[in-house]
Structure 1
């Protein structure tokens, strides 16, 4: 991952590379934990979306996730098979299959959130509580700036 002796001597360039390396580390560690649970990042995104925003029609869920409908359908089918979501047919304004979170899905999402906290604790183990707070504040500012620049969703 990070090798103090390699790369540019430019602090600005080092910062960008360090942010990217930290992001990759988070992605790898979270993916390992999700894989152990039989879930991909898309599985987790579906569960989070349903938990945060409530039931969704399959098509609306795909649009919200900015993902191909066929991919989202496969993920929903996986989650249905695991009993983490349920679907029902609603006939208001036409026929729609609406997907909702089950209690097992809520529990699975809780386990994913525990994994996220675990990854955070591993990566930030060398920081004090105050440094973690400061890092959180600074990263929120960086991400807000990135969003304004159109670089983040």
Structure 2
């Protein structure tokens, strides 16, 4: 059923008229032209489509737009402040934690929530948290090192 659905995206109130069962991923990419969030598997298994809904990592390919009505959605595009990257993005760059880069936005969104919520995380905690993501071409150790550096930054009070 088509209806008007309103929610915040990257701090801005947005509205779309669509089927409330439509995947959030499709609305973000097709209606709002926010193409940083990627389609990977369409089943919520790979993590490429991860966004933050009210601060929690959420698979946008299996979350309907109706489920986020009135909520706050943050995509990879919403992380940049002026021309300054988020500290987690900077860590990923320093550690060259990407090859093709397709799945990196999902990794980063999960890492942001994880580092915020787990400022004393161990390497083992990081492995557990990031194991929910699948990357077909990357060196996982560089991703883990980037998240580990970001956790250390959270311990020091940096954003």
| TM-score, with length taken from structure 2 | 0.33
Structure with higher Rg: it is 1
TM-score w.r.t. length of structure 1: 0.34
Greater percentage in helix: 1
